[in-house]
A = this chain, B = another copy of it.
């Protein structure tokens, strides 16, 4: 996979327009022509910057993973309070939302885009998984979470699955207000998932944080 990153202003604009359209209408129904049309550029220009549609998707995938990684890293470094955790969670959900076409399309893309399948197996299931594992480990070190290794390992998986399940359950056409409510609901859902593993002495602040979303 090519290294992610903006190569030129046009490159970025294509990526952004694609993301918008993919999120709105679904990657499956958006053609390269749609993207070019929406941007008022020629198809030729689009194909000058990307060899094909796959490459656009792959680049978006890279950006998605990079963003997730950054947020997890930040969370790892600032996981000293329940509030910080909740804040991180919310940010993560928003990030997923801003790439919502991906969780929706990835499984169906794998049969068409083997590069992506390969990447997902290694990167996401590797890198992101790891980081989330580290985060939970750190939280255990700090006494916020408890549980044995295999419990936390499963928690990592479940956490990711619930994130994905969350974004998949929202209508693409949700309004800003609806989104806010959904983000709150998503945070609540994730907190319920963590709740059994929150240490007794952190239960109070945790419940208080939960209340914020009630």
Residues of A that sit less than 8 Å from B by CB? 25-29, 103-105, 107-108, 110-112, 125, 150-151, 154-155, 157-158, 160-162, 164-166, 168-169, 172, 188-189, 192-193, 195-197
CA distance A195 to B103 in the complex (A): 27
Main secondary structure of the interface of A (DSSP, over half): helix
* CB-defined contacts of A111 to chain B, threshold 8 Å: 25-26, 28-29, 172
**Count of chain copies:** 4
CA distance A192 to B27 in the complex (A): 34
Does B26 lie within 8 Å of A112, measured CB to CB?
Answer: yes
CA distance A51 to B166 in the complex (A): 33
A-B contact pairs, 9 of them (CB 8 A): A28-B111, A28-B112, A29-B112, A104-B107, A154-B189, A157-B165, A158-B158, A158-B161, A158-B192
